[in-house]
Structure 1
């Protein structure tokens, strides 16, 4: 796969075209679950693409691990794609899918905080430093190229240390998504909730049929409105879900049967991306994508300060490529903010993808397979440190997970 990626990178300008060259078509264009008409909604389409956080190679950042590389050019493209898919999940969670970025407008505090998570510093939660060092637990040396499943495993582990977003990252195994396991993981108590006091000093769940307002009123009379937490915060028992499905859609080249499956997958998701180029949409049998293979200088920014974010948005015309040029080793990503979103996703997958046998990129099952080991939701080790710092002081933070690259051909 390393040689394939190198060949792909060398030829990228040969078969890539600019969006202006997109032929007139009445076929809908999907951008991460949003549908556009390329003829009449081109401005809106470009605004959507420009609003996505774009992560590329960087140079001149502090050496990884103190003595490691100070640039990820040539090896960090998959890590940057992983950053893009995770950043989109956080944007959907904190700002909503309809949010749009404008270069000359002030940005919400949540946006700045999300961007801070990905800056090229050792203390940023999802920085290239954290990802590269956490990859050591997956058997990857710093500076070594990653596959899609390895990147997904790294993101899953780093998310355990992000109390602000409290994102549940589920990585499917053996091309199988298990509904029971996902609900078990997402219904875990939010890690951040342990740091917030319960209203009125309540330490136990409210009695059946009693609302938080009633409970506060019973305790403090008319002072229910002083409760520091909203009802939604108190009753929410679902952590936002980033579902990643590593797939192998062919041997040396993508199997054409999966092209229709990919086109079916896009409309059922508010977040669909394919590792390798962080593909955004599927017009016809083509992909529009954000390319990480551009080297930019790392920004010098103090923690907590505003970020000059122009270089984190691809303002030039996005590129497009044929699906058949895609590497067959990919990972699809889906974001579900609520349990209702996830239930709706399951229904759409069953209706649109799994009706025909030849369209099945993955399996969706209700219960945990009996021949699998028991499912244990991942949990943060009881330490006050970042993921990379903890792994540096531990022989093995997690049991290294096998690269599940099952062929579906």
Structure 2
């Protein structure tokens, strides 16, 4: 049912006018007044339409710029927008992996029948989380290497910053030798997350892929990646990452050297929807100068969120099939193009740059947002980091899902004072509670209850937490919602639903993203209708 609902929305995608003249417009740390005089309608110069599949022509969707402030529209258009692509070099199918033939690809008309038994030449139907993660990374690089004040314009006389923008786009072209191509995301998905080609990525697989690809291509991106699976950021670890320098042992090395760091927080902010407790802080993160957006966020599909107005989030939609971004050399089906790294060229004059920018305004209310997401922040310097820390520290501790600590604590039993032996993998993502504790397990076994000890309200024989934080469940979440998340604790994008209403409809092997597991005995408890949220440990 949701598949047909999304297809209906896809076909009947309407233009959105600015009907809110009270709330400011926020785009990745920049704020625009909604009370400005509306812009004059601009001529339509492109014809890519979501209802007509692929098109080689330029895409700006100018017709709905009316009623939105001009500076806001220019900022939106500057965001790099990566979408489904068709006709790229083959990604080989795994022996036991998904088939390139799917209902969605048939409906969209993106399937290549000549390669159907060999592999994938389009990511339509399965690659939206990869594309939104690419968008997040691309806009982080744009912020770092071009500057937040730069604006995209179509012109033939390219400035130095214009060319740098083209260089960044070329990192994401759809060929295996491009540093951040879909081919390399898929390859890292296999290596880091056991994802087969054609399988749906979730936030953790996307984050791991970004981390590995940035490390492998540091000479090009000059960006380190810090992953947090609990919302906890440890200053000593982050600053150590920022200080990593292969020339650090050379006499005269710059003691003030600071590698820009992309912080990726894989978070889950509720059971079925984003808990209202977190709305303000979620918007606050998008208003920070360090923000580079959010990937994820809508049931059964992933979007790239870059700003907000009131309680609506602005996003770029990757579910728009376009022809592959390719260099001019070779045929898309030639073995040379698949294997020869020389096909990755200085290709900015050849790239269809217009296809990675749009003026189309889309927004989604926070109560419709899927609670699992990948949030990105970039710190460029020590001062930039301290500014981010100050902004996070000043927010209400009971309503934020990010915390910065000086170093990673070691949780110890109140009786034995011994640290737990087992630790959660750094890149596993968990559901967030009211306040962060620690990224590692808290596993305390066989605690003998002392009647004279008032530490516990009741005897605890075995306290095993596989993850570091409780799941915050709102009183608006139903009993069935809690049971669903307990039975199926994994999230996927690009399928019929990311929260499966009936877990029996899909086999367990269909699930791929691991989040916090709630013990069935806990999830079976009825939720009380108190004003305060109920925390299930």
Q: Would the TM-score normalized by the shorter structure come out above 0.5?
A: yes
Choose the corresponding residue for 1:240, options 260, 267, 277.
260
Q: CA deviation at 1:369?
A: 2.1
Name 1:205's counterpart in structure 2. 252
Q: 1:348 aligns with which of 366, 391, 400?
A: 391
Aligned pairs for 1:261-300 within 5 A: 261-276=281-296, 277-300=303-326
Classify the secondary structure of the residue corresponding to 1:164. Answer: helix
Q: Residues of 2 paired with 1:283 and 1:8: CA distance?
A: 25
Q: 2:404 matched to which residue of 1?
A: 364
Structure 1 residues 300 and 31: alpha-carbon distance in aligned structure 2, compared to 1, 3 A threshold: same
Moved more, 9-18 or 281-290: 9-18
The 3-state SS of whatever aligns with 2:309 is coil
Aligned residue for 1:185, secondary structure, equals: helix
Distance in 1, Cα, partners of 2:257 & 2:79? 29
| 2:350 is aligned with 1:312 | no
Q: Select between 294-303 and 30-39 the one with higher mean Cα deviation.
A: 294-303
Q: How does 1:92-171 map to 2 (within 5 A)?
A: 92-105=143-156, 106=158, 108-137=162-191, 138-162=193-217, 163-171=219-227
Alignment partner of 2:431: what SS? coil
Q: Assess, with a 3 A threshold, how the Cα gap between structure 1 residues 324 and 336 changes in structure 2: closer, same or farther.
A: same
What are the superposed Cα offsets for residues 90-126 of structure 1, whole Å, 9 maximum, x if unpaired? 1111111101110125253321211111000000000
Structure 2 unaligned regions, length at least 5: 38-68, 94-117, 297-302, 329-344, 412-418, 434-471, 473-537
Per-residue deviation, 1:17: 5.7
Instruction: Tell whether the 8 Å contact from 2:20 to 2:34 is kept in structure 1 after alignment.
Output: yes
Q: 1:7 to 1:37 in 2, by over 3 A?
A: farther
Between stretches 98-107 and 162-171, larger displacement belongs to 98-107
C-alpha deviation, 1:305, in angstroms: 1.9
Look up the match of 1:182. Answer: 238
Give 1:47's match in structure 2, choosing from 51, 57, 74: 74
Higher RCO, Cα 8 Å, sep 6+: 1
Greater radius of gyration (CA): 2
Q: CA deviation at 1:68?
A: 2.8
Q: Check the 8 A contact 1:17/1:320 in 2, yes or no.
A: no
- Residues 200-240 of structure 1 show CA distances to partners (whole Å, capped at 9, x for unaligned) of xx94127xxxxxxxxxxxxxxxxxxxxxxxxxxx5541101
TM-score for both structures, normalised by structure 2: 0.59
Partners of 2:232 and 2:8 lie apart in 1 by 33
Contact 2:84/2:321 (CA < 8 Å) preserved in 1? yes
Alpha-carbon displacement from aligned partner over 1:271-296 (angstroms, at most 9, x marks no partner): 24121211111101001111000000
Pairs aligned (count): 341
Residue 57 of structure 1 is matched in structure 2 by 84
Residue 330 to residue 9, structure 1, CA distance change in 2 (3 Å): farther
Deviation for aligned residue 1:24 = 3.3
Work out whether residues 227 and 426 of structure 2, in 8 Å CA contact, stay in contact via their aligned partners in 1.
no
User: Hey, what's the Cα distance between the residues in 2 that align with 1:150 and 1:14?
Assistant: 30
Secondary structure in structure 2 of the residue aligned to 1:63: strand
Q: Secondary structure of 1:60's partner?
A: strand
Contact 1:32–1:273 (8 Å) recurs in 2? yes
Q: State the Cα distance separating 1:268 from its structure 2 match.
A: 2.4
Equivalent position SS for 1:252: coil
| CA distance in 2: counterparts of 1:93 and 1:188, whole angstroms | 18
Looking at structure 2, the residues matched to 133 and 10 of structure 1 have their Cα atoms a distance apart, in angstroms, of 29
Equivalent residues of 2:393, 2:403 under 8 A apart: no
Q: 3-state DSSP class of the match of 1:145?
A: coil
Segment of structure 1 superposing worse, 8-17 or 173-182? 8-17
Unaligned runs of 5+ in 1: 195-201, 207-233, 375-398
Residues 83 and 322 in structure 2, CA contact (< 8 A), matched pair in contact too = yes
CA distance in 2: counterparts of 1:92 and 1:38, whole angstroms: 24
- Quote the RMSD (CA, aligned, Å): 2.7
CA distance, structure 2, for counterparts of residue 166 and residue 361 of structure 1:
28
Distance 1:122 1:188 in 2: 28
Within-5 A mapping of 1:366-381: 366-371=406-411
Of Structure 1 and Structure 2, the greater helix share is in 1
Distance apart, 1:12 and its partner CA: 4.4
Assess, with a 3 A threshold, how the Cα gap between structure 1 residues 56 and 257 changes in structure 2: closer, same or farther: same
Residues 256 and 14 of structure 1: CA distance in aligned 2, closer, same or farther (over 3 Å): farther
1:75 matched to 2:141? The reply is no
Q: CA deviation at 1:31?
A: 0.2
